[in-house]
Chain A
């Protein structure tokens, strides 16, 4: 009887103990999950580039398109253009220079006109063009098929 008793208790101890441990392995991930991460919100990469009304005339912004940067231009006349923002010379990220009225690469002074054509400096090729669509006041950028 004594042996049975201790065996019973031993099993109950193991059962109880492992149950508690198991509860821990369930609760710990859930609680850690609920704790807000340091970066509070998801980063917007946007195939959607925002409201048309938010984009100023004669300006350009860089937008993350998947893993690639895309520069979205709004000309002084109000047209929207989008190009790959990777300079065709040595892969730096280009920007829009209002004072030049051109797309400019800070690395080696490459210049592209607002049609993406390389017009000055080392870039050997124009920038790849992306399609810009406006649907319901929102700007969408997509790859040229």
Chain B
């Protein structure tokens, strides 16, 4: 067995020069310090993304993306296809967990200020991927074409339409028309399985390539320590095996969730029915949704909702551009201010999500 593997390696090496690559990868080290644990969240996010791709492709075998068949096709998957219930529930659960781990990953990077020079592009691609993850969530949510999804999409695209100037055209583009219809479903399906995965893969490629090239970022505090004092472990095989171990446990967790907390399907969307009372978006949008409720109807000359949306837009932009305005971290200095901002944001999100969920 080993012999044939060696032979295969030699054959490949002659043509692709793998030796250089192997040597390079062998030199990759992961710093070991008290914040090392956060390093794992990037990997788990990647793992969950892979799960989404695999389960997504499997679902594509049976899902029908038209208004007439979408709901029934998922019902079919849940009840008639062998293990269809498992694939579908894992896909739905993973979607949520993926966003959660991505958020944790993002915040840990933020607090560690790992976005600082030379890793600005890594941060940017990461933020773009995060926004794409939210877009994945929003578009995927509609695909079952159930009551909840239909109205959530209606409300969500309505909010998009509120943005001044470009809002209406954006809304029409998203909806494929004036209202949420089968045309909307087709578009969202296209975005979800083709457009977003394509863009995401490119961004992911850049993100991973940069990490390989630049290595793992170390905490600001340890930058001043001599190299000999810094504890490290080789990426291959140590960190990788640990990563795989964690991924194994996460996989088991997903299976347990799928069996004991299967994802619901609800009722088929009825365009002519009234919206169910107390409709709210998925948890990852909830804090924004809830915030909008607190803004008064009119602020000076601005419409309250528009103001709120623009405010969130501006906040998101600032957050994404942090490597460029955080001068201190670029210089290698501690920046308490950033930490406080990060803490504020976390608490804000958590508290408003809880309020939004409880009311």
Direct contact of A and B (CB under 8 A): yes
The reply to whether B270 and A143 form a contact with Cβ atoms under 8 Å apart is yes
Q: Does B120 contact A (CB under 8 A)?
A: no
Q: Please give the number of chain B residues whose Cβ is less than 8 angstroms from any Cβ of chain A in the complex.
A: 28
Contact partners of B80 in chain A: CB under 8 A:
37, 39, 42
Q: Residue among B61, B76, B84, B272 with the most chain A CB within 10 A?
A: B272
Q: Does B73 contact A (CB under 8 A)?
A: yes
Contact partners of B273 in chain A: CB under 8 A:
142-143, 145
Q: Does B87 contact A (CB under 8 A)?
A: yes
The reply to whether B270 and A142 form a contact with Cβ atoms under 8 Å apart is yes
The reply to whether A66 and B81 form a contact with Cβ atoms under 8 Å apart is no
Q: Does B347 contact A (CB under 8 A)?
A: no
The reply to whether A32 and B68 form a contact with Cβ atoms under 8 Å apart is no
Q: Which of A64-85 contact B (CB under 8 A)?
A: 66
The reply to whether B58 and A48 form a contact with Cβ atoms under 8 Å apart is no
Q: Please give the number of chain A residues whose Cβ is less than 8 angstroms from any Cβ of chain B in the complex.
A: 24
Q: Does B186 contact A (CB under 8 A)?
A: no
Contact partners of B82 in chain A: CB under 8 A:
29, 32-33, 35, 37
The reply to whether B76 and A33 form a contact with Cβ atoms under 8 Å apart is no
Where the two chains meet, the residues of A that have a C-beta atom closer than 8 Å to any C-beta of B are: 22, 29-30, 32-35, 37, 39, 41-48, 66, 131, 133, 140, 142-143, 145
Where the two chains meet, the residues of B that have a C-beta atom closer than 8 Å to any C-beta of A are: 58, 61-62, 64, 67-69, 71-73, 75-76, 80-84, 86-87, 248, 267-274
26 CB < 8 A contacts A-B: A22-B248, A29-B83, A29-B86, A29-B87, A33-B61, A33-B81, A33-B87, A42-B69, A42-B72, A42-B76, A42-B80, A43-B72, A44-B72, A45-B71, A45-B72, A46-B68, A47-B268, A47-B270, A48-B67, A66-B267, A131-B272, A140-B271, A142-B270, A145-B272, A145-B273, A145-B274
Additional A-B contact list (10), CB under 8 Å, known A43-B76, A45-B268: A22-B248, A29-B83, A32-B82, A42-B76, A43-B72, A44-B68, A45-B72, A46-B68, A47-B268, A48-B68
